[in-house]
Amino acid sequence: MENTQIIELIREGQREKPIRFLYKEFPKIKQLVLKEGLTKELAEEIFQNSLIIFIEKVENPSFVLSAKATTYLYGINRFLTKNEVKNQKKSIQEEWTDATGFDDSELCYDFEKEEKLNRLEHILTQVSEKCRQIFQLFYFEKQSMDEIAQKLKYSSTNSAKTQKYKCIEKAILLSETSEDRLDKTLQPN
């Protein structure tokens, strides 16, 4: 699949084909991650994260893919693996030849922000089922509030909207308490 096709499909919201295409690289990447001494589960998680980062990048209309999509994907995986390895206080092997030509700085990876997003993603599993559905339908599937109100059997669009705002509020509250907890663990006794 050519870069142009991958980009076009992702921007049109038709992600399945590109994901399948990129997924073909997973066995090879998994081997590389395992060689770094990380687990199978981590390899899978890293690969998923790399796809998310890749798709988010491509969705931005001003993003220009400077290398082949697969090279880029290898680069992200190498970067994320390196990161994980560093966390575990090891050093990275030099076997990521498929990522040659990929510059880590291209990623503009914001550690703090990624950390926060990870935490929020986790928090979104803690809100009620109704809230999870609203978030999924509205933000990810981009359905209108009218459709959502009908689907989730709200008496009106307005009450669905109010519910959505309450869900956001709940998520904010949860994130604040989790941040508090985080702060506490960081403080010396």
Partner 1 sequence: MRPSLNNIEFIENYILRKFDPSEHEIARRRIESSPALTELFETQKDIIQAAKRKGLRSEIQSIMNIGGQSFFYRHRFWLFGGLFVLSVLPFLAFYNSENSVIKQEKYDLIQEQLAKNNQDIVPWIPFDIQFFDLIAEKGGTMVGKDGTLILLAENSLLDASGNLISGKVQAELIEALDWEDMIAYNLTTSSGGKALSSGGMIRIRYKQNGKEVFVDPGKPMHIEIPTDDYNPEMKVWEGEVQGDLLDWKNPQKIERYLSKVDLEYLDFIPTGFDSEVSALLPYRNHRQLSNQLVDSLYYSISSNRDMYADSKENTKSFSNDCYFNIPIREDKRTGHPSNQTKPLLKGKNSITGQIVDPTGKPIVGINIKLRMDRYLENEEIIKTDENGMFTFHKFYPGEVAIYASLHSADDDELFWKYCLETSFVCPKKPQNYTLDKPLVAEYTSMLNFEQLSVSPKLGGCFIDPLSIKTIKGNRFQNTFIATKEFETRLQAMHLSKKGSTILQIYMNNLSEPLWKCDQMASEQLSGTEQEVFEAFAKQGLTSVKNDGIHQKALMAHFREQRIIYRTENRKRIQEGNTKSSQELRSLRQSLETVLDKPAKLAAMQAASNGRSKSKTNRVRSNKSLRVARGPSYKFSWFSSSWVNIDCYLRQLGSSPWITSITTNQNPKKVSVFQCIRQSKTVLGLNALSDSYEAKFPKNGNQEETFSLAMMMKDNQLLFDSRSYHPSDVRALELKLEPISQEEFYLKLCSLAPSESSIAKRLEAKQSDLQAQENIKQKHAPYLKELKTARNRISKEVVLYNRLFDVINRCSKDSFDYPL
Alpha helices, DSSP H, located in 3-110: 3-11, 16-23, 26-35, 40-59, 69-87
Interface with partner 1 includes 186 (CB under 8 A)? no
SS3 labels along 119-138: HHHHHCCCCCHHHHHHHHHH
- Taking a C-beta distance cutoff of 8 angstroms, is the pair 149, 157 a contact? yes
Between 93 and 158, name the residue whose CB sits nearer to partner 1: 158
Between 93 and 177, name the residue whose CB sits nearer to partner 1: 177
In angstroms, give the least distance from the CB of 52 to partner 1: 6
Binding-site member from 95, 103, 169, 180 for partner 1 (CB under 8 A):
169
Around Cβ 17, how many Cβ atoms within 10 Å?
13
Interface with partner 1 includes 155 (CB under 8 A)? no
Distance CA 85, CA 119 (A): 20
Binding-site member from 109, 130, 157, 166 for partner 1 (CB under 8 A):
166
Interface with partner 1 includes 130 (CB under 8 A)? no
Q: What is the largest CA-CA distance in the chain?
A: 60
Residue 23 CA neighbour count, 13 Å, CB half:
9
Structure tokens at 176: 């604040």
In angstroms, give the least distance from the CB of 188 to partner 1: 26
Amino acid in position 98: D
Binding-site member from 62, 91, 155, 187 for partner 1 (CB under 8 A):
62
Residues in binding contact with partner 1, number by CB under 8 A:
46
Distance CA 99, CA 80 (A): 12
Binding-site member from 85, 106, 120, 143 for partner 1 (CB under 8 A):
120
Binding-site member from 29, 123, 148, 160 for partner 1 (CB under 8 A):
123
Residues that bind partner 1 in the complex, under the rule CB under 8 A: 2-4, 7-8, 11-12, 15-16, 19-20, 23, 26, 44, 48, 51-52, 55-56, 60-62, 64, 113, 116-117, 120-121, 123-125, 135-136, 139-141, 161-162, 164-166, 168-169, 171-172, 175
